[in-house]
Amino acid sequence: MSPVDKQAKRAQTTHTHSFVLKPPWSSFFLVHEDARPISIATVTSYKTIFTLSHRHPSPNPRNPGWPLHNLLAYLRTLYPTQTPSTRVFCWSDPGLPTCEWKSRFGVVQMTGGGRPSTLNWEKVLHGLGSRVADLAPMMHPTRLATQAAA
């Protein structure tokens, strides 16, 4: 993925950015660049809008993370003929940048019409198994209070 300011005009990115932080937009939304002005829509409008955008939670610009992977798999399942390649904006900028945008743009190529693979499988004693993490001890109220007071 490349910086968003290398792929789009500043007016486009600034206009889109003004919508990113306002409710009711969720973590995922669509950008229709052919409309003037640029319009923003929900993911359910995918048939008519072709740039997928999401709030990029990862500090690593090269790894958009599992939420985007899951949404791409979902869209590929619903719209197999319309999603062999999908334009993606990963919004990372909390405010308008003074120099280079942290947000990224790229085109995701999806191959095959089969069922998408899943993430977070790891080798276990008898092959592959789901990754399990027990977070209950970390959420114990007494432990949390002790950590907060320290």
pTM: 0.49
Q: Which CATH architecture has domain 2-119?
A: 3-Layer(aba) Sandwich (3.40)
Q: Where are the domains of the chain?
A: 2-119
Q: Which parts of the chain register pLDDT below 50?
A: none
In which residue are the tokens 């069922």 written? 115
> Are the C-beta atoms of residues 119 and 66 closer than 8 Å to each other?
yes
**pLDDT tens string 69-84:** 888 888 888 877 777 7
